[in-house]
Amino acid sequence: MLVQTVKTSLPLARRARQSHFSVMSESQQRRSGFGGDVKPHAYDPMTQPELFEGVLARRIVAFLIDLIVISVPLIFLAIFLFVFGLVTLGLGWFLFVFYGPVAVIWALAYYGLTFGSPASATIGMRMVDLEMRTWYGAPCYFVLGAVHAIGYWLTVSFLTPFILLVGLVNDRRRLAHDMLLGTIVINNAERASLLRNAARSF
């Protein structure tokens, strides 16, 4: 009788352990984000072509505008430091040591703050009706905006500007750093609506 009880309890204990580990595995997958809950792309170029029309060309224009916006304060700072150095007989020129770090911090703050704004776009992108989103449709935030700028400069620096040609060979017009960071640049709602209405009128 005792032997029979032991034999019966062994399968039950084995099933309990299997159930426990399967529950643990599912919970760990949910926490790690690999439990099959991968979010699909929110924007489809086949059904929403108005979101991607002309994005690459206007993205170049937006980049040039942002470059000007970032450069102007740095130019004024450089002029101020130069004049300050003249007034202080050259002592103020030692402040140029901090010019490089200040320029980097300012650029990262600019991209972080503008991408993290309600418009989810830099000043240049707003002027050409673009916005940046995550691949599943969420707006951008400060850290993602700053890291996006770093990703751009790293890919262009190490892989040459030719890496930007990646945007020509995918339907969503994403660049290499967009794919790495899970972002996508699209037309904003106003422009997309205009393009959609124009397409319907033909």
Instruction: Render pLDDT for 85-103 as a digit per residue (tens, 0 to 9).
Output: 999 999 999 999 999 999 9
Check residue 22 and give its pLDDT: 40
Cα–Cα distance, 30 to 109 (Å, whole number)? 33
Check residue 25 and give its pLDDT: 40
Cα–Cα distance, 36 to 49 (Å, whole number)? 28
Q: How many CA atoms lie within 13 A of 139 on its CB side?
A: 15
Record the pTM.
0.79
Check residue 67 and give its pLDDT: 97
> What tokens appear for 93 in the block?
């020129």
Check residue 1 and give its pLDDT: 44
Low-confidence ranges of the chain (pLDDT < 50): 1-36
Check residue 55 and give its pLDDT: 97
Check residue 59 and give its pLDDT: 97
Check residue 30 and give its pLDDT: 39
Check residue 199 and give its pLDDT: 81
Residue 139 forms beta bridges with which residues? 133
Cα–Cα distance, 183 to 140 (Å, whole number)? 8
DSSP code of residue 188: -
Cα–Cα distance, 121 to 112 (Å, whole number)? 10
Check residue 37 and give its pLDDT: 61
